[in-house]
Chains A and B, each alone.
Chain A
Amino acid sequence: MASAEQGLRVVGKALRKVDATAKVTGTTKFADDLFLPRMLYARLLRSPHAHARIRSIDTTQATTLTGVKAVLTGKDLPIPFGILPVSQDEHALALDKVRFVGDPVAAVAATSEETAAAALARIAVQYEPLRPVTDAEDALAHPEPRIHEYGDQGNMHKLIHLEFGDVEEGFRDADLVREDTFFFEGSTHLPMEQHAAVADWSADGKLTLWSSTQTPHYVHRALAKVLELSPARIRVVACPNGGGFGGKSDPFSHEIVAAKLAMVTGRPVKITLTREEVFYCHRGRHPTLMWVKTGVKKDGAITGMHFRSLLDGGGYGSYGVASTYYTGALQTVTYHVPRYKFQGARAFTNKPPCGPKRGHGTPQPRFALEVHLDKIAEQLGLDPAELRLKHLVPPNSITANWLRVGTMGLGRCIEKVVQGSGWKDKFRKLPTGKGIGLACSSYITGAGLPIYWNAMPHSGVQLKCDRGGGVTAFCGSTEIGQGSDSVLAAIVAEVLGLDPLDVAVVTGDTDLTPVDLGSYSSRVTLMTGNAAIQAAERARDIIARHAAAKLDVSPERVAFAAGRVFDVERPERGLTFADAVQLAEAAEGTVGTVGSYTPPPSPGTYRGAGVGPSPAYSYSACVAEVDVDPATGIVRVPKIWIAHDVGRAINAATVMGQIEGSVYMGLGEALMEEMAYRGNRNVVHKIPSLLEYKSPTTLEMCDVVTYVVEDPDPNGPFGAKECGQGPLLPVPPAVANAVYDAVGVRIDEVPITPEKVFKALRRKEKGEAPRFGPAAFPDIAWPEATRVPPPWEGGDGKAVPLTPGASPGKTRSRKPRARARGR
């Protein structure tokens, strides 16, 4: 059979998304657009306390209100759940304790939303307030009262200590050793669509939940667990998401509650969250305090790196354990780090839970690392672009922490943005107030391991070829606006020589589609893409066999293109795709195939090696230009150049869209976004509204020059790697580095607000350190290190067994200081 690789007809083109017309004409049905006969409306009563025990709940007054059909409290849903098997710490409705202002406590289903809201006001809850924990350092200082009864110590949820080679030796080898402290503020996803769900309990005992979720498979599992129903009796349909960005990746209270209310009332139930409630669902960026110490040679070669992070996790586990590992995982995949030590900690605090937001756990350390390198380059008198180019991780290599890097296009990315931005003529040469900065990054193309341990594929595709010539692709993947339906259609169309619009896609439906783990960790294009290729190639083989017989040529000579199946050597001899399907169907019965994908195993096997491995890493380089007003400290970013190594673009237009969208989100985090709380006022969220939570609008967006670098990766479908998250990462540090170039002050935390720049400028005027940022990293009682020798020290990816008695068990002992993050 003639290979589709020879001339790509669909892949790589800038094609309209398959769902674009419906989106722009407003006909897409989001979860809140669904209306079922006799449908009820649900609302959640949320806690007004940051931390309290529930003494009693009296729902009598609510139940008796006309129009109210059911009232639920924690007792009705006592089984805990959570996205990670190690953090099953949530209840759909608080059982005995509330852990943040906004924690759901009770639920009402009524004939109208107004009635449901009125009923909530009639529920009487008696609380016994407990001391709230306001942030990570407060959690360190106050192990009691504990927010959860589990976790590594007191209010510390997770403590990690990994060491790959002897970093102290690395520091001894260095010409320069530098330490810096950074802080990255928390931010939230801000999808345009608020979370919504509709549940239906059918007369024959089957539950259906339509939801704006990125992970229908995990919601399916959580519903089965909490509702004690067989998964075979539950159908979860992921509606098109009006944006997700990681904020719709957990199973949520409102989904479980809607399902339970439908079961109790026997009527369909809808719940649509308010914008304020979306802020309480959160699962966004962890506020992270970081300390990094790096040894370098005169030419910038890194000899060793020690990185510490302290994450403010909020009230529940969510993805937090993974997030914490991610703050230490990818430092090694951009520049060669021969010895590496990571210590990470996550605190429970009485705020909405943090979790995965675009870049999951990696934008924070990337900010720290890239600003840190900028300072190192300056100290060594090197151009920061040159420094990076000189010490890139080689392609096809294994890093100190045992991550396998395949293709590596960072060098080309740096060259693109350096050239495009006129870097050499601008860096340290622009007039005061104008500046330019550079930063790089890398991101995973799909997590190498699933969220719960299993040996099954991460993605499956079923294909059905119709007699009429149409093909339907069934896949559990979830369209959240990123274009996954279009990628699926494009790949099937490419292999079978069709127009993508002739491929019907049925996605995100646990009854109809094989499992795909969900739209997170930038996994969908690579994993569903590979599964789709396998399914489509199997279909192509079947069809080609029968077409070959008809054309009287060998199957190898049969090609698929432009809706035809033909002899590649005499293209005029052929048949339509529909005719070819009919031949195959007549001979073999229904033409249907399956494909699936499992990532390759990772070479690292130590405890903690599960976070970081990926089939392929994407790379980005970014140059930002800024204007800083020295009188006010206001920073404007007129232009950004960004180059992204995507392996291969499946759709040139959607890749551009993802890169620009990432720049946009990165710019918001760099300049203004802040999940701010009032620690002294019951830890309320300061500004849970679209008006006061400041995020850029299109008018604040800068010009972006995008370079798509294509270095096809053998692990990706047609060579494709991710592009939806990675390009966010270099934006905040590029802006910070540019601010320094403009006015000579270091802002070692984001967001880079005018107040911070203004303060740093005043400090500079007074001859003090021209900097704004955290002063120190607190002392933490780290557990004993897991020691894993890097590949070049003869390791095998396993940890060295602990020698009993050789180590004191804890590596420090001083008492944590309450407020080490003085500014």
Chain B
Amino acid sequence: MLRLPSFTYLQPRTLHEALAMKTDAGPDGMYVAGGTDLYPNMKRRHQEPRTVISLMGIPELAQIGMRNAQCGIGPCVTLTTVSGHPTIRDDYAAVAHAAGLVSTPLLRNMGTLGGNLCLDTRCNYYNQTYEWRQAIDFCMKKDGHICWVAPSSPRCWAVSSSDVAPVMVALGADYVLVGPGGERVVPAARFYHNDGINYLTKQPDEVLWEVRLPRPDGWDAVYHKLRRRDSFDFPVLGVAAWVRWEGGRGTRDEGRVAEARIVLGGVASWPQEVPEAGAALVGTDLSDEGVAAAADAAYRPAKPMDNTDFDLSWRKQMTRVYVSRALAELRRRRLPPAR
């Protein structure tokens, strides 16, 4: 079978210890949480840390708490917990839903929110064994020089494949990072980079310490996912749609969209916000015309490449369909329930 390379495994009990261990290990050290992304990658020699520092023994990282009516989720909370937590389900249904759509129950029991948000980008020229990659003489993302998806391109187009990240960007969540130099807070959107190799703005020694969700007041969000098999596939397209209603949430009267964000997963190296699509919705009541304009706006910049499941032109076509469906769901949720 495919074997892991040998490595040193460390289990810090405090954040301080973890940071010190990482400093000692230098560039050869990596953090791990559930390991459902890192260990398969190590087997295929994508990531080759000689020291692996587990964050799972640090109690603060596995908590969910409320501060100033804002929900804070520790990165080591498992996806199973995120998807089943009452507060998250009630006030941040899109987050719970997206977390529940990740892979299989087994992987959600192991996989964490932090790991999901820091997930390595994916490409089917890259997510292959060393021997397979040798047969194409490797690629730019690891061990090689060229990008086989776009051979004349100077960059890597590996795909952001996290289900929860687009929702975080759409919601406008904040990530709290702690590194040797202290703490900083970055908006989710600025945590990601549209580059398949340098896909995070996080420094390698920084730990994602907490994810802060905005107060649940007057906005609503949904997440729709396209994939071959609902049983365990990664998204080939994710649509996170967020709107703030004039007059706020809970008011059931006819209202208009004050602000909106559409964020696409699976089509770029980062969760791709499409500002034109959001703008097209402002002032509408999510009527069919408004939805169509937004779907069209989202379709245009979506640039899937030939490196995931499905044909790329079909995937591009599907952005229109999935954005429309996500917005239709938001509209339905807005209407009073049938009596």
Interface residues of A (CB under 8 A from B): 46, 48-49, 101, 113-114, 117, 194, 272, 274-276, 631-633, 672, 678, 681-682, 684-689, 691-692, 694, 696-700, 753-755, 758
CA distance A633 to B314 in the complex (A): 10
Is B135 a contact partner of A101 (Cβ separation < 8 A)?
A: yes
Q: Does B9 contact A (CB under 8 A)?
A: no
Q: When each residue 292-320 of chain B gets 1 if its CB lies under 8 Å from chain A and 0 otherwise, what string results? A: 00000000000000000111011001100
Question: Measured between C-beta atoms, what is the minimum distance from A708 to chain B in Å?
Answer: 29
Contacts of B233 in A (CB 8 A): 691, 694
| CB-defined A-B contacts under 8 Å, sample of 30 | A48-B134, A48-B135, A101-B135, A114-B6, A117-B3, A274-B1, A276-B2, A276-B129, A632-B318, A632-B321, A633-B314, A682-B135, A682-B136, A684-B135, A687-B124, A688-B132, A691-B232, A692-B309, A696-B229, A699-B230, A700-B229, A700-B230, A700-B231, A753-B310, A753-B311, A754-B314, A755-B311, A755-B313, A758-B314, A758-B317
Contact of A755 among B3, B132, B310 (CB under 8 A): B310
A684 contacts B136, CB within 8 Å?
yes
Q: Which of B6, B131, B136, B310 contacts A754 (CB 8 A)?
A: B310
Contacts of B314 in A (CB 8 A): 633, 754-755, 758
Known: A113-B3, A114-B6, A685-B132. 20 other contacts (CB 8 A): A48-B134, A48-B135, A272-B1, A274-B1, A274-B129, A275-B2, A276-B2, A276-B131, A682-B136, A686-B124, A689-B128, A691-B233, A692-B124, A692-B309, A694-B229, A694-B233, A697-B231, A698-B231, A753-B310, A758-B314
**Nearest residue, chain B, Cβ from A48:** B135
Residue of A nearest to B313 (CB): A755
A657 to chain B, nearest CB (A): 21
The answer on a CB contact under 8 Å between B1 and A113 is: yes
B47 at the interface (CB under 8 A from A): no
B228 at the interface (CB under 8 A from A): yes
Q: CA of A700 to CA of B2 in the docked complex: distance in angstroms?
A: 28
Residues of A contacting B1 in the complex (Cβ-Cβ under 8 angstroms):
113, 194, 272, 274
A539→B124 CA distance, assembly (Å): 60
Complex Cα gap A619–B336 (Å) = 55
Q: Are A694 and B131 in contact (CB under 8 A)?
A: no
Interface string of B123-158 (1 = CB under 8 A from A): 010011101101110000000000010000000000
Q: For residue A696, which residues in chain B have a CB less than 8 angstroms away from its CB?
A: 229
Q: Which 8 A-B pairs have the closest CB atoms?
A: A699-B231, A48-B135, A697-B231, A755-B314, A755-B311, A101-B135, A694-B228, A48-B134
Least distance between A687 CB and chain B CB atoms (Å)? 6
**A632 to B231 Cα, complex, angstroms:** 19
Residue in A closest to B4 when the chains form the complex, CB atoms: A114
Cα of A758 to Cα of B315 in the assembled complex, Å: 11
Asked if residues B231 and A46 are in contact (CB atoms below 8 Å), the reply is no
Can you name the residue of chain B whose Cβ is closest to the Cβ of A684? Answer: B135
* Complex: A588 Cα to B310 Cα, angstroms: 70
Q: Is the CB of A681 within 8 A of B3?
A: no
Residues of B within 8 A of A753 (CB): 310-311
Closest Cβ of chain A to B108, distance in Å, is: 14
Cα A61 to Cα B309 with chains together (Å)? 40
* Chain A nearest CB, measured from B199 CB (Å): 20
What is the CA–CA distance of A809 and B134 in the complex, to the nearest angstrom?
47
CB–CB B231/A274 < 8 A: no
Cβ contact within 8 Å between A699 and B229: yes
Whole-angstrom CA separation of A687 from B313 in the bound complex: 19
What is the CA–CA distance of A694 and B231 in the complex, to the nearest angstrom?
A: 11
Q: Which residue of B lies closest to A112 (CB)?
A: B3
Contacts of A275 in B (CB 8 A): 2
Majority-rule SS of A interface residues:
loop
Rounded to whole angstroms, the CA-CA distance of A691 and B228 in the bound complex is 11
Bitwise interface map of B from 1 to 33 toward A, beta carbon under 8 Å scored 1, else 0: 111001000000000000000000000000000
Task: For the complex formed, measure the closest distance between the CB of B236 and the CB atoms of chain A, giving whole angstroms.
Answer: 11
Instruction: List the A side residues contacting B129 at CB < 8 Å.
Output: 274, 276
A25 to chain B, nearest CB (A): 20
Interface size class of B (residues with CB under 8 A): 20 to 34
Which residue of the partner chain B has the closest CB to A683? B135
C-alpha spacing A697/B230, complex, angstroms = 9
CB-defined contacts of B132 to chain A, threshold 8 Å: 101, 276, 684-685, 688
Give the complex CA separation of A753 and B314 in angstroms: 11
B315 to A, closest residue via Cβ: A755
How distant is the Cα of A549 from the Cα of B27 in the complex, in angstroms? 89
With a cutoff of 8 Å between Cβ atoms, the chain B residues found around residue A46 in the complex are: 131
Complex interface: chain B residues within 8 A of A49 (CB) = 135
Distance of B238 from chain A, by nearest CB (Å): 15
Whether the pair B232, A697 counts as a contact (CB closer than 8 A) is yes
Are the CB atoms of A692 and B229 closer together than 8 Å?
Answer: no
Q: For the complex formed, measure the closest distance between the CB of B329 and the CB atoms of chain A, giving whole angstroms.
A: 15
Instruction: With A114-B3, A696-B229, A697-B231 as known contacts, state yes or no: A681 contacts B136, CB within 8 Å.
Output: yes
The answer on a CB contact under 8 Å between B131 and A48 is yes
**B138 CB → nearest A CB, Å:** 11
CA distance A314 to B129 in the complex (A): 22
| Shortest beta-carbon distance from A418 to chain B in Å | 31
Residue of B nearest to A688 (CB): B132
Residues on B with beta carbons closer than 8 Å to the beta carbon of A694: 228-229, 233, 309
B313 partner residues in chain A, CB cutoff 8 A: 755
Q: Which residue of A lies closest to B228 (CB)?
A: A694
Q: How far is the CA of A700 from the CA of B232 in the complex (A)?
A: 10
Q: How far is it, in angstroms, between the C-alpha of A101 and the C-alpha of B232 when the chains are bound?
A: 28
Interface string of B225-245 (1 = CB under 8 A from A): 000111111000000000000
Nearest B residue to A101, CB-CB: B135
CB distance from A174 to the nearest CB of B (A): 39
Q: How far is the CB of B316 from chain A (nearest CB, A)?
A: 11
User: Which residues from chain B contact A113 at a C-beta distance below 8 Å?
Assistant: 1, 3
Residues of chain B within 8 A of A689, CB atoms compared: 127-128
C-alpha spacing A365/B211, complex, angstroms: 56
> Given the complex of chains A and B, what is the CA–CA distance between A46 and B131 in angstroms?
8
Q: Mark B101-141, 1 if CB is under 8 A from A, else 0.
A: 00000000000000000000000100111011011100000
Q: How far is the CA of A532 from the CA of B314 in the complex (A)?
A: 56
Task: Give chain A nearest CB distance to B59 CB in angstroms.
Answer: 33
Which residues from A are CB-within-8-Å of B317?
A: 758
Q: Which residue of A lies closest to B227 (CB)?
A: A694
A764 to B169, CA, bound (A): 39
Task: Give the residues in chain A near B135, CB-CB below 8 Å.
Answer: 48-49, 101, 682, 684
A293 to B74, CA, bound (A): 66
Q: Considering the complex, give the chain A residue whose CB is closest to the CB of B134.
A: A48
Contact partners of A117 in chain B: CB under 8 A: 3
Q: How far is the CA of A685 from the CA of B128 in the complex (A)?
A: 10
Name the residue of chain A whose CB is nearest to the CB of B125.
A681
Would A697 and B229 be within 8 Å (CB), given that A113-B1, A692-B124, A692-B127 are in contact?
A: yes
By a CB distance below 8 angstroms, the chain B residues around A684 are 132, 135-136
Give the one of B135, B233, B310, B318 with max A CB within 10 A. B135
Q: Which one of B148, B228, B318, B321 lies within 8 Å of A681 (CB-CB)?
A: B148
Closest CB in chain A relative to B126 CB, distance in Å? 12
Residue of B nearest to A681 (CB): B136
B310 nearest in chain A by CB position: A755
- Of residues B6, B131, B233, which shows the largest number of chain A Cβ atoms within 10 Å of its Cβ? B131
In the assembled complex, which residues on chain A have CB atoms less than 8 Å from the CB atom of B231? 697-700
Q: How far is the CA of A275 from the CA of B124 in the complex (A)?
A: 16
Mark B92-104 against chain A: 1 for CB-CB distance below 8 A, else 0.
Answer: 0000000000000
CB distance from A813 to the nearest CB of B (A): 38
Report the Cα distance A32→B80, complex, angstroms: 33
Closest chain A CB from B184 CB (angstroms): 35
How many angstroms between the C-alpha atoms of A631 and B1 in the bound complex?
42
User: What CA separation (Å) do A700 and B311 show in the bound complex?
Assistant: 21
The answer to whether A631 touches B321, judged by C-beta atoms less than 8 angstroms apart, is yes
Contacts of A678 in B (CB 8 A): 136
Contacts of A700 in B (CB 8 A): 229-231
Chain B, residue nearest A47 (CB): B135
A254 to B313, CA, bound (A): 41
Chain A residues with CB under 8 A of B134? 48
Chain B residues contacting A48 (CB-CB under 8 Å) are 131, 134-135
